[in-house]
Structure formats: C-alpha cells, structure tokens
Chains A and B, each alone.
Chain A
C-alpha cells in the first residue's frame, strides 16, 4: 500500500502543476452551478433540498471524469514511462490502484468545492442534512466507478481521444440502462419486466437515486465497488496483455 500511495502522490502533484487541473475544476463548478440553478429549477422547486443538484451528476461526470481518466495510462504509454514504472519493484496492482486513487482524490477535491451550494441551501431553508450527506457519498462512489472505467479505456489505447470517447459511451450506457425513457421504451417493445429490471439495476442512476434520497443500502455500495474492482482488474489484464 505504501507504494500505491507514493505513486498516487506523484500523480496528484502532476495534476496540480499543470493548468489542466484548475481549468477542470472551474469548468466542473460552473457547469454544476449552471445546471443546478438554471436547468434544475432549484428556485422554483421551493424545497430546501439538493435534488436538483445531484440529479445532474451522472450526466456531468460523463463528460468530465473521462477527461481526467483518459491520460491515466495512455500518457505513460506515450512517454515511455510505463517501462520505468513496471521495471521498478512495484506490482501492477499497486501502480493501478495508486493512479486510480490519485484521480479519485482529485475528483473528491472538485466535488468538495461544491459545498458552498450546500451552505446556500442551508441558508435558504432547513434542509435535511442526511440526504445531502448520502448524496455526496453516492456522487463520490459514482465518480470512482466512472474513473475506473475511464482508466480501463485509457489502458486500451495510446490515443487519448479514443479513450475519452469510449469511456463516455460506456458511462452513457450505464446511465441509460436505468433511465425511465429508455426503460419505458424497452417495456413498450415487450421486453419482460424482469429483464428490464435487471438492466435498470445495472444502471448507476438506479443506485445513485436511492442515495440521493438518504438511503444507504449495502447493495449500492457493493454495486459501485464491484464496478471499480472489475474495471481495475480488467485494467491489469489489459496492461499485461499489451506487453505480451
């Protein structure tokens, strides 16, 4: 774990020496604010909750998280540092987890910078703090799942654009699987409801929604963590097979 942490620290420092990190955070916050207050009808809702804030997360992350994840491995490939990293006494798992942790912590920083919105709600009304807290936890887990997927697509190709688009499409599928307009179409087509339910249960929205409502279910945790573990494991397989 010490090695993973050393790699994570290096990676994190790398984010903040380049302007990309700051640009990312600013865009993230601006979009969050725009969607929450303008598109989400925050003021019209007239209830002191952050539902109109969280509801946009699965969509915004779709654009922003692959942008963080796309350079994770393709950059190492391109610069040849992969050869350096994998000839040092670290296991591939340590390297993958270290890089993933760095990206995840970076996303956590961006997410925590949205806290002023919570304070706004706090100021405007008396919100239930429970759903806000669980919403943030869910959002963080979802970001991790997206990031692990983006890391996987980044390991598959040297090309960052391809990595970005592939990650975006996979994340889109994960969202759409449980999106009511899509599930309704499936039902209309006569898909058995068991199948539709199963597809929906694979969706990040399905698991994130209950967390927004303040429900902490162990199954949601298992869902997000198994997505992350699966993507990380596949990343290690891909990285290994690329060298064979």
Chain B
C-alpha cells in the first residue's frame, strides 16, 4: 500500500514539476508570476485531443501540442507582458490572472463545456510486483518527465545558451549590458516552459482520460505552491518540490485517510514551509 502510494506520488509529482517549470523559468528572468501558464497547459491537452483522436498517434499529439503551445507562450509574452515590463509586479499579475480566466472561457466557447475523453493507449508493458503495480502509461509519464528534466539540465549547464540564461536569471540588466540578447533568452523561457506544459497537458489528459475547460485551475494554484516551495526561480527546487507535493498528497491518503481533501495539502505544506523557511527549499534571500 505504502509502496504503491509512493509510486503514484512520483507519477503525480512528475506532472506537477513539469507544469510548474514554466512558471519557474518565466519567474527566473522576469520576476513575473505567469498564472496564465496553466491556460497553456489546458491548450496542450486540447491540441492533444484534436490530434490524437483522428491519428491515434501519441507522439504526434505531444509534438503538435508542444509546437502550438510554444507559439502561444511567445504570443503571451509579446502582447501581455512585454508592454508592462518595468511596471509594479501587480500589473502583470493581474493581466495574467485575467488572461487565464479569458482562456478558460475561450476553451468553453470553442470546445464546449463538457469533458472530452483522451483514451490514450500505449504499447509499453507495465510493471507489477506484490507491493506495487504501475501501468505502462504511468511508466511512460515518469520516463518522459525524467527525459525532459535531463534535457533541460543539459541545456542549462552544458551549453552557451544555458550560461546566458543563468546570467540573465541572476541579473537581467547586467546580462543585457554584456552583449546577451535578453529578449531572445526571455523568449526561450516562454517557448521551453510552454512546450513542457503542453506535454504535461497531453499526459494528464490521457492519464485521467478527460480534458475540460477548467482542468487548469487546480494545477494553476498547485504550481504556484510548488514554485514557492521550491524557492522562486530555482529549477532543481521546482522538481524537488513537485515530487514532494505529489508524495505528500498520496501518502496522506495512506496515513490520514481521505477526510482531508487532497487538493488542500498543497497549501498546508506551503504554509508550513513559509513558517519554517520563507525562501523555499532551494531559494536564497536576495
């Protein structure tokens, strides 16, 4: 039971981490809370439905969702955030919340208010012992998340672009003054963050076999909890916090039972964290 819940927690946590990464990347360079990012996640899920149902190809669904969402992310940066850069942080935050609500209604209008199913089947074999059972799809989620995170890690640590990205996240102005085109770096953050959210959107839609207009609401606030928990702007912190939240949610089912609503746990953990270490797991006071 416990081992099974740990396994479930890792699957869930991987998804939280993937969704929250976009927030972390954007916050890292712009210090903006990109709440509408959860709207990008839902867009990814819908693109997944539109591509998967006729083609039956999960790979194609994921790639199309990533491409569409990258563009959507870039457009949001260009038209929502860039015009208000340098304004007090409340301004982009309110714009972002407004955009998120707009997107939810837009999906409702265009795709209808009802749940669409995304009946993904994959050929990968599951994994089963006496203590734990993971479906092939669960294994796929964890593997895909691990692959994406490793890729991102390599990009950040092993390439010139990654060096420029880290410098920009530490001091955007000084990076710009040293020949780094920070517009490109910011664009890259939106593209990568949105593409990863799109992948998560398709995977979540397939995991629960449902896609609906408001499926981004709960991930939106959990992602906020995850990035605060991880220490605003820290990529490894986000991954650890995502996994920790997934595990906390599944393990409380074991030890506390279901009388505690699962979705409240994110905020319980968050409040505890803020009391103990306000800068988050890997955050640094600046």
- Chain B binds chain A: no
Listed in ascending order, the chain A residues whose CB lies under 8 Å from chain B are none
